[in-house]
Amino acid sequence: MNESIDAATSVDQVNNLKTTIQDVRAALDSTKSEINLLTYDYDKNELNNELFAASTVAEMNTIKGKVLNKVKTEVNNRVERELRRAAQLMRPSDNTSKTMTRSEELYLEAFKREVNAKTSVNDVRTKESDFIFGRFVDAVRMRAIVLSIHKYFSGSYRFAGDRDRNDW
| Whole-number pLDDT of residue 2 | 47
Domains in the chain: boundaries: 69-162
Q: What is the pLDDT of residues 37-49, one digit of tens each?
A: 544 545 555 565 6
Q: What is the pLDDT of residues 116-136, one digit of tens each?
A: 998 887 888 888 888 888 877
| Whole-number pLDDT of residue 113 | 92
Q: What is the pLDDT of residues 13-63, one digit of tens each?
A: 666 666 666 665 665 555 455 555 544 545 555 565 666 666 666 776 777
H/E/C letters for each residue in the chain? CHHHHHHCCCHHHHHHHHHHHHHHHHHHHHHHHHHHHHCCCCCHHHHHHHHHHCCCHHHHHHHHHHHHHHHHHHHHHHHHHHHHHHHCCCCCCCCCCCCCCHHHHHHHHHHHHHHHHCCCHHHHHHHHHHHHHCHHHHHHHHHHHHHHHHHHHHHCCCCHHHCCCCCC
pLDDT at residue 5 above 80?
no
Q: What is the pLDDT of residues 64-85, one digit of tens each?
A: 788 888 888 988 988 888 888 7
Q: Considering the entire predicted model, what is its pTM?
A: 0.56
| Whole-number pLDDT of residue 117 | 92
